[in-house]
Structure 1
C-alpha cells in the first residue's frame, strides 16, 4: 500500500499562522499553491504594471514548486484573479511566456478587490508530479 505524505511549504510571512494557511501543500504527487501576489516582503513589485506583477508572481510560484519537489512543467491548472479584466492581454502575455509549451488549464476572472488595492492580480496553481518510473 502506497503511503501519502503531506508537506507544508511556508513563505515565512507572519500572517500564515494567524490566518491558518501556508504558501503550498504537497500531498503525494499533488501540489496546491495558494493565491500568490506581487508582494516581496513588504514591497510591491510592479506597481501599476499588470505584466510585471504577473511575471514576478510566476517566478515566486516556480520557486515554491521547486521547494515541493516540482516545477512549472508539472502545472496542470492556473487560476488568475484580476482586478481589471481589461488588462487581460498584459497578464496573458506574461502567463503565455511561461506556459506556452506547458499549456495548463487556465481561468482568469475579475474580482472586485484583492487584499491590497495596489495588487492587480493574484494567481494560484495546481501541479501534479509524474510518478518516477524506475528502469527494469
Structure 2
C-alpha cells in the first residue's frame, strides 16, 4: 500500500506541532489513534479522573467519526493512568458509555508515574479496524 493511502488528522492543538505527531492515522482499513487526553477543544484538561476519562473517549469518538468509524470498530485500547485505583474504577463504571459491547475490545490498563501534561491523569490510545 502506498503513502497515498495513508491519511493523518489532528485537532490543531499546539502540542501536535511542538512534539510532532498526528492525533490519528488511517492506512487501509485500520486507524491508530494516538494517546488521547481528557482535554476540550481549547486544550483545557477536565477535572478529575472520571471527567478526563470521559473526555478522552469523547475525543476518540470524534477522531474515529472523521474516518467514518465508531467505537464498534475499536479492537484494542491501552489506558495509561497515574492512579490505578481511580482509573480502573472509572473504566469499569463507564465501560458501557464507551463501548456498545465492552467484551469485544482487547484492553490493557497501565499505571504510570506521570503523563505529558501537569494535572493529566489518563491517556488512552486505540486501534480500530473495519
TM bucket, shorter chain: 0.7 to 0.9
Residue 66 (structure 2) aligns with: 67
Residue 109 (structure 1) aligns with: 110
Residue 121 (structure 2) aligns with: 120
1:73-115 CA distance string (max 9 Å, x none): 0000011000000111123222343225152000000001011
After TM superposition, the structure 1 stretch with the greater mean CA deviation from structure 2, 22-31 or 117-126, is: 117-126
Larger Cα Rg: Structure 1 or Structure 2?
A: 1
Deviation for aligned residue 1:65: 0.3
Structure having the larger proportion of residues in helix: 2
Q: What CA distance in whole angstroms lies between the structure 2 residues aligned with 1:64 and 1:98?
A: 14
TM-score, normalised via structure 1 length: 0.84
TM-score, normalised via structure 2 length: 0.87
Structure 2 unmatched ranges of 5 or more:
none
Residue 5 (structure 2) aligns with: 5
Residue 38 (structure 1) aligns with: 38
Residue 132 (structure 1) aligns with: none
Q: What CA distance in whole angstroms lies between the structure 2 residues aligned with 1:18 and 1:27?
A: 24
| Deviant stretches of 4+, over 4 Å | none
Structure 1 unmatched ranges of 5 or more:
130-136
Q: What CA distance in whole angstroms lies between the structure 1 residues aligned with 2:25 and 2:13?
A: 16
